[in-house]
């Protein structure tokens, strides 16, 4: 019995699946995912740039494999992600003959994208990340000045939710973001979401990406965030959980990728393996997080880790090539880590 089984009375426990895993039909990893997890998210293959790289071009292969795996193994399936400013071709925001696109034409493209994707997987995808990361990283209290916002104004987000709900009235629809516990960001987002709930804009919940580190954020900040969003009547998903064990290189989320980093031992302190002491810290951190999630199981529907083994985490090779991180529950050989056992112990009486 795997992790998901241990928490089956609490919430779904999920993992993101990489495009490589799907395309290579990696049976070892897919078997592990099937045994341990009850929910799956496509890490990259449903992003606009990958699945819909040009107006009339759709790459369905990896995404179809993902849906097929999830359906065959009876997983709670996540669609990720419909409307985001990142990983989207610039051509989406360009009009005919290179002229600025009109708002009407851009709305048409958004609708076409959402309708095509949601319709194809209607009745299969349980939950969609409909809109991702709309808050400015500058002060966290205003709309991100993305092309979506600049061309359509703030209503682009509402429009995305209405379009997705019309395309699949039974799918659960989420707003997904990082650092949602920051007071300014929490204030901004609860304002937007309260207005949506007031006016009946179809949204069911929020996704906390939860790219955490050993110390940040503190548990009580996370708990406060859980309580604040849950009190509004929103369902909560932890959508991209991982725990960075390395020294903070810089405040990377939303920042430009700096080219100024050079490989150094300071940036890559554990090139071969994670020392036992840090393993233990990671285990403690994961155990405390899961204990908090269990405490709030009435409002938390799912906890998904952003990947499966440390070998494939997006946290590796960044900001310099060769940097080894250890943020997940399975090591580079796909063996369960101390963190995995610490979580399992929570459910052993």
Residues ≥6 apart with Cβ < 8 Å to 329: 3, 286, 305, 308, 336, 337, 339, 340, 343
- CB under 6 A: which stretch of 42-50, 142-150, 155-163, 186-194 binds ligand G3I? 42-50
CB atoms within 10 A of CB 247: 10
**Quick check: 87 binds ligand G3I (CB under 6 A)?**
yes
Supply the minimum distance, in Å, between the C-beta of residue 18 and ligand G3I.
7
Candidates 55, 240, 273, 301; catalytic one: 240
Across the chain, the runs of DSSP E, i.e. the strands, are: 12-17, 39-42, 76-83, 127-132, 172-177, 205-208, 211-213, 235-244, 300-305
- Binding residue (CB under 6 A) for ligand G3I from 93, 261, 314, 318: 314
Closest by CA position to 310, among listed 245, 215, 251:
245
Closest by CA position to 73, among listed 19, 114, 122, 12:
12
**Quick check: 43 binds ligand G3I (CB under 6 A)?**
yes
**Quick check: 44 binds ligand G3I (CB under 6 A)?**
yes
What φ, ψ does residue 305 adopt, rounded to 5°? -90, 145
**Quick check: 240 binds ligand G3I (CB under 6 A)?**
yes
- CB under 6 A: which stretch of 30-38, 41-49, 118-126, 276-284 binds ligand G3I? 41-49
In the numeric block, the tokens 């799907």 are attached to 22
Is the bond preceding 66 in cis, omega lying within 30 degrees of 0? no
Supply the minimum distance, in Å, between the C-beta of residue 124 and ligand G3I.
20
Supply the minimum distance, in Å, between the C-beta of residue 62 and ligand G3I.
10
Quick check: is 97 catalytic? no
How many residues in the shown chain lie near ligand G3I by CB under 6 A? 8
Q: What residues act catalytically? A: 240
Binding residues for ligand G3I (CB under 6 A): 19, 43-44, 47, 87, 209, 240, 314
């Amino acid at each position: 019995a795997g992790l998901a089984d241990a928490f089956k009375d609490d919430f779904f426990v999920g993992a993101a699946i990489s495009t490589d895993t799907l395309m290579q039909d990696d049976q070892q990893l897919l078997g592990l995912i099937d045994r341990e997890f009850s929910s799956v998210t496509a890490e990259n293959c449903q992003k606009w740039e990958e699945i819909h790289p040009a107006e009339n071009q759709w790459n369905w292969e990896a995404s179809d494999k993902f849906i097929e795996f999830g359906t065959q193994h009876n997983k709670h399936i996540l669609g990720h992600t419909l409307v985001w400013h990142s990983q989207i071709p610039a051509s989406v925001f360009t009009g005919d003959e290179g002229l600025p696109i009109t708002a009407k034409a851009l709305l048409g493209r958004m609708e076409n994208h959402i309708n095509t994707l949601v319709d194809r997987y209607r009745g299969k995808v349980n939950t969609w990340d409909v809109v991702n990361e709309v808050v400015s990283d500058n002060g966290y209290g205003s709309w991100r000045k993305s092309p979506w916002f600049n061309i359509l104004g703030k209503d682009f987000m509402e429009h995305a939710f209405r379009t997705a709900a019309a395309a699949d009235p039974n799918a659960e629809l989420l707003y997904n973001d990082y650092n949602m516990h920051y007071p300014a960001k929490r204030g901004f987002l609860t304002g937007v979401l309260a207005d949506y709930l007031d006016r009946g804009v179809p949204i069911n919940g929020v996704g906390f990406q939860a790219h955490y580190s050993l110390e940040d954020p503190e548990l009580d900040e996370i708990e406060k965030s859980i309580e604040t969003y849950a009190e509004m009547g929103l369902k909560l998903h932890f959508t991209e959980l991982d725990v960075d064990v390395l020294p903070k290189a810089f405040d990377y989320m939303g920042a430009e990728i700096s080219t100024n980093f050079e490989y150094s031992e300071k940036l890559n302190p554990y090139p071969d393996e994670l020392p036992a002491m840090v393993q233990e810290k990671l285990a403690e951190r994961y155990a405390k997080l899961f204990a908090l999630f269990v405490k709030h199981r009435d409002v938390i529907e799912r906890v998904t880790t952003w990947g499966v083994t440390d070998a494939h985490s997006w946290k590796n090779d960044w900001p310099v090539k060769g940097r080894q991180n250890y943020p997940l529950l399975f090591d580079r050989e796909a063996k369960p880590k101390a963190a995995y056992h610490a979580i399992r112990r929570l459910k052993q009486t």
